[in-house]
């Protein structure tokens, strides 16, 4: 398989181990066999979009992180989910609140 599949598999395995999940457990969560998951993790097998999405949900990450290794996407995934639930008319107010928190923390750090 190509280098990209190997890297994707390595990220899947690393996240699974980081979250202390067995291959058998994750395979069951995505409706696949442990052998199938091992093949993906080793980079020897590709996967469907559905399997990629199932893996991202099982590992509590984004498909972007699995595909591209984007740490920033992983870091902000929870915040993005919260913002997606926010009604459009409340976004300006939420932006002001977040800016105030960031300004406060920056000022607090500068005084130390």
Domain parsing of the chain, residue ranges: 3-69, 72-110
Give the torsion sign (CA, 31, 34, 68, 45). Answer: negative
For 27-51, letters b (16+ CB in 10 Å) and e give beebebeeebbebbbebebebeeeb
Best CA proximity match to 43, nearest among 7, 13, 11: 7
For the segment 5-47, what is each residue's pLDDT rounded down to a tens digit?
999 999 999 999 999 999 999 999 999 999 999 999 999 999 9
Question: In the structure encoding, which two tokens stand for residue 9, read together?
Answer: 């598999």
Question: In the structure encoding, which two tokens stand for residue 14, read together?
Answer: 């690393």
Residues 23, 41: contact at Cβ < 8 Å?
Answer: yes
Please state the φ and ψ torsions of residue 8, each to the nearest 5 degrees: -60, -45
pTM of the predicted model, to two decimals?
0.64
> What pLDDT, on the 0 to 100 scale, is given for residue 48?
95
- Give the chain's largest Cα–Cα span: 55
For the segment 36-81, what is each residue's pLDDT rounded down to a tens digit?
999 999 999 999 999 999 999 999 888 888 998 876 655 677 777 7
Question: What homologous superfamily does CATH list for 3-69?
Answer: lambda repressor-like DNA-binding domains (1.10.260.40)
């Amino acid at each position: 398989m190509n280098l990209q599949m190997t890297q994707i598999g390595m990220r899947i395995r690393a996240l699974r181990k980081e979250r202390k999940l067995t291959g058998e457990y994750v395979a069951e969560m995505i409706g696949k066999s442990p052998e199938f998951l091992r093949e993906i993790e080793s980079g020897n097998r590709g996967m469907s979009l559905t399997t990629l999405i199932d893996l991202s949900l099982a590992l509590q990450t984004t498909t972007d992180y699995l595909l591209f290794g984007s740490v920033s996407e992983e870091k902000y995934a929870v915040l993005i989910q919260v913002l997606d639930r926010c009604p459009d008319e409340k976004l300006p107010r939420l932006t002001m609140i977040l800016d105030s928190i960031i300004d406060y923390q920056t000022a607090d750090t500068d005084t130390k």
